[in-house]
Amino acid sequence: EELYGVNNWGRDYFTISETGELIINPFTEEKGGVSLIDIIQGVEDRGFDMPVLLRFENILDEQISYLNNAFNNAIESLEYKGSYRGVYPIKVNQQQQVVHEIAKFGQRYHHGFEVGSKAELIAVMTEMKDKEANIICNGYKDSEFIDLGLYAIKMGYNLFFVIEMPGEVELILDRGKLLGVQPNIGVRIKLSTKAGGHWTESGGDRSIFGLNMSQVIEILDYLKEKGMLSCLKLMHYHLGSQIPNIRDIRVAVLEAARVYAELVKEGAPMGYLDLGGGLAVDYDGSNTNFTSSRNYNVDEYCIDVIEAVMSVMDNDDIDHPIIITESGRAIVAYYSVLVFNVLDVTKFEQYDIPEELPEETPENIKNLFEVYKNVSVKNLQESYNDALYYRDLIKDMFNHSNISLRERALSEKIYWDLIYRVSGELHKLKFIPPELIDLDDALADIYYCNFSLFQSIPDSWAIDQLFPIVPIHRLNEEPTRNAVIADITCDCDGEINKFIDLHDVKKTLPLHELRTSEDYYIGTFLVGAYQETLGDLHNLFGDTNVVSIRLDGKGSYEFINEIQGDTVEDVLSYVEYNTKDLRASFRENAETAVKAGLITAKERKSIMESFEAGLRGYTYYER
Ligand code: PLP
């Protein structure tokens, strides 16, 4: 558990059993847990191939409760007079089943939704039945978007149009008048506060989103002039996602609460203060202000938010508003686990090196061989320098046709074994020379795994986001290999070489030696937020299989939803291939080969059958 930090990042949802299996258990009772490898067995028995995305309904339920209870506890303990009404920003994971489940589990807290486009609003209006929960409409709004929102208000939804640009107000008022609906309006403001983390540009004066203070005044005056100030009920800001430092959150809330108070003093009815997203997830378990972590927990976040709002309102003698937050990541990150199998491994050591080299071996290879034989604790730096020197000379000789491919291959074997020997002796040194500190990492195995980084964990590639990666079985055996992970996209960026650590970032991951004829399964955790929708079709690897699971709390589970991943035919159609045309032209090609006497008519039949099987197949490596 320590090696992979499961106790640190797992929020007690994940543990390791005595038999070395990764257990998922969102319940307080120990017997409620289920082994992930057991679930994977069940998935494969039903004919689903790896990779598979597992979604755990109970975790989503638990996370919604956790956030709402934390806010409600803070409200009660601080005697705050307003209430909390969270909304889930559906951009974080818009999959129908996710939205459906959030609408279901959120109902008891009147947890609503934030949308940023027409499509998202339609998705929410079809899934959300709770009229007491809020719908927050951010983003740029055309008249179609506005009409949909106005009709939602007519249907009884508590919907707010949040103004991103001053020009939107006029259109909203006009459409409202036309449809006979009084709109609820909010303003999105730009704070001067800027937070640390990946998404710092969402906040601060130069943020591309929201209104500066003079634009807010412009809107206030416009609403007053039109006699519609009664529509202005909400103020919103969003500082950025995954804010690691609680101080930044506090400073922003204080600044925003002051603006809110001023809007009330200007005569707007207000009532709602929307603090956006940003509640971070502790991906690396370090509980620090690293970008993949946070130096606070959910309870502290809620207390700090409520306290800050309260202090400003009490000071300005303003009623405590209803507080909205748009936490996405914190609600859904824990919900999904991606599981894949390992297809192959490349190792960089322990080759079969002959005792002696043949007489005719080129001089520089013989020299490298001498260095190799003489490695000792006394000459590690020197051996390393010499190894690099001869390796470069040998490469030059090869480029100038002075050595053969076989000789070059031999020199590579000697080189890697030499590096292995040097690295094996390093621990005997009191002071490791800086150049040699990372030598172990250079020797790391490459574990080739059956998934696409770009499809399933795009943030790992795009912004170096760290995710916990852990084998889901054999955890009672010592992992004897250090590895980096390569996906199957054949893109040199399709590699994971940064792993979570409590103090730093690790360049390799401890993994187990593969066993012949036994699959090895690895889980990537906390992938429920952003990864599914941001993922793309690089190399035409499509959506993975998805299986949703409900645990019964007594150690059993059921599959409540199974979604077949994309087939080859599906992904080809996404990139504009018409599969009918594809079939026709492939058949034509095969017929031409028959006519040319290259294949028989019977062979054409077999070729067409394998073409069809290929089209129907999963885009990932199938057994
Ligand atoms: N609200 C808005 C307006 C956003 O742009 C985002 C995403 O960055 C969020 C909420 C969700 O933020 P988080 O996932 O950090 O809670």
Decide if the complex's ipTM is over 0.95. yes
Tokens of 552: 């019964």
Residue 240 alpha carbon to ligand 1 centre in Å: 6
pLDDT of 122 above 70: yes
Q: How confident is the model at residue 51, as a pLDDT?
A: 98
Q: Whose CA is nearest to atom 10 of ligand 1?
A: 277
Strands 521-524 and 336-346: antiparallel
Tell me how far CA of residue 331 lies from CA of 102, 106, 119, 310, 572, in angstroms: 9, 11, 21, 25, 34
Strand partners, 34: 24
Q: How confident is the model at residue 205, as a pLDDT?
A: 64
Round to whole Å and give the CA distance between 345 and 396: 29
The conformation of residue 274, written as its DSSP 8-state character, comes to E
Q: What per-residue string of b and e applies to 123-141 under the rule 16 or more CB within 10 Å gives b?
A: bbbebbebeebbbbbbbeb
Catalytic residue among 231, 302, 449, 490: 490
Q: Whose CA is nearest to atom 8 of ligand 1?
A: 241
The per-residue pLDDT for range 406-421, each reduced to its tens digit, is: 999 999 999 999 999 9
Omega before 51 within 30 of 0, i.e. cis = yes
CB 202 within 8 A of CB 243: no
Round to whole Å and give the CA distance between 576 and 214: 47
Measured from the CA of 188, which atom of ligand 1 is nearest?
A: 3
Residue 146 alpha carbon to ligand 1 centre in Å: 21
Measured from the CA of 116, which atom of ligand 1 is nearest?
A: 3
Helices (H) and strands (E) in the chain, counts: 21, 21
Residue 14 alpha carbon to ligand 1 centre in Å: 26
Round to whole Å and give the CA distance between 373 and 366: 11
Round to whole Å and give the CA distance between 382 and 386: 6
Report the residue among 87, 90, 91 best suited for mutation to probe ligand 1: largest number of ligand atoms under 8 A from its CB.
91
Measured from the CA of 92, which atom of ligand 1 is nearest?
A: 14
The per-residue pLDDT for range 440-461, each reduced to its tens digit, is: 888 999 999 999 999 999 999 9
The per-residue pLDDT for range 466-520, each reduced to its tens digit, is: 999 999 999 999 999 999 999 999 898 999 999 999 988 999 999 999 999 899 9
The per-residue pLDDT for range 184-213, each reduced to its tens digit, is: 999 999 998 777 776 655 666 666 778 999
Among residues 69, 114, 70, which one has the least CA distance to residue 94?
A: 114
Q: How confident is the model at residue 201, as a pLDDT?
A: 58
Tokens of 96: 């129908």
Round to whole Å and give the CA distance between 97 and 101: 6
Measured from the CA of 330, which atom of ligand 1 is nearest?
A: 16
Measured from the CA of 241, which atom of ligand 1 is nearest?
A: 15
CB 252 within 8 A of CB 193: yes
Please list every protein residue whose CB sits less than 6 Å from any atom of ligand 1: 89, 92, 114, 138, 238, 241-242, 276-279, 326-330, 529
Q: How confident is the model at residue 236, as a pLDDT?
A: 98
DSSP, collapsed to helix, strand or coil, labels residue 324 as strand
Residue 522 alpha carbon to ligand 1 centre in Å: 29
Measured from the CA of 138, which atom of ligand 1 is nearest?
A: 3
Q: How confident is the model at residue 27, as a pLDDT?
A: 92
Residue 274 alpha carbon to ligand 1 centre in Å: 12
Q: How confident is the model at residue 194, as a pLDDT?
A: 73
Round to whole Å and give the CA distance between 4 and 295: 20
Please indicate whether residue 302 is annotated as part of the active site: no
Measured from the CA of 327, which atom of ligand 1 is nearest?
A: 16
CB 161 within 8 A of CB 183: yes
The per-residue pLDDT for range 35-78, each reduced to its tens digit, is: 999 999 999 999 999 999 999 999 999 999 999 999 999 999 99
Determine the residue type at 540: L
The conformation of residue 513, written as its DSSP 8-state character, comes to P
Round to whole Å and give the CA distance between 606 and 588: 15
CB 349 within 8 A of CB 443: yes
CB 236 within 8 A of CB 190: no
pLDDT of 228 above 80: yes
Q: How confident is the model at residue 192, as a pLDDT?
A: 86
Phi-psi category of residue 571: left, alpha or beta, with phi > 0 → left and psi -120 to 50 → alpha:
alpha
The conformation of residue 447, written as its DSSP 8-state character, comes to E
pLDDT of 164 above 70: yes
pLDDT, greater one: 4 or 202: 4
Tokens of 598: 């290259």
Report the residue among 90, 235, 238, 527 best suited for mutation to probe ligand 1: largest number of ligand atoms under 8 A from its CB.
238
Q: Whose CA is nearest to atom 12 of ligand 1?
A: 277
Percent of the chain with pLDDT over 90: 91
CB 525 within 8 A of CB 468: yes
Q: Whose CA is nearest to atom 9 of ligand 1?
A: 277
Residue 239 alpha carbon to ligand 1 centre in Å: 8
pLDDT of 593 above 90: yes
What angle, 0 to 180 degrees and rounded to 10, lies between the N-to-C axes of helices 363-373 and 380-399? 160
Tell me how far CA of residue 147 lies from CA of 121, 154, 160, 177, 183, in angstroms: 11, 10, 13, 11, 10
Among residues 38, 10, 19, 4, which one has the least CA distance to residue 551?
A: 38
Residue 137 alpha carbon to ligand 1 centre in Å: 13
Q: Whose CA is nearest to atom 6 of ligand 1?
A: 277
Residue 36 alpha carbon to ligand 1 centre in Å: 30
Report the residue among 241, 302, 332 best suited for mutation to probe ligand 1: largest number of ligand atoms under 8 A from its CB.
241
Owner of token pair 């999105």? 188
Give the rounded distance of the alpha carbon of 442 from its chain centre.
27
Report the residue among 64, 67, 92 best suited for mutation to probe ligand 1: largest number of ligand atoms under 8 A from its CB.
92
pLDDT of 159 above 80: yes
Q: What per-residue string of b and e applies to 292-321 under the rule 16 or more CB within 10 Å gives b?
A: bbbbbebeebbbbbbbbbbebbeeeebebb
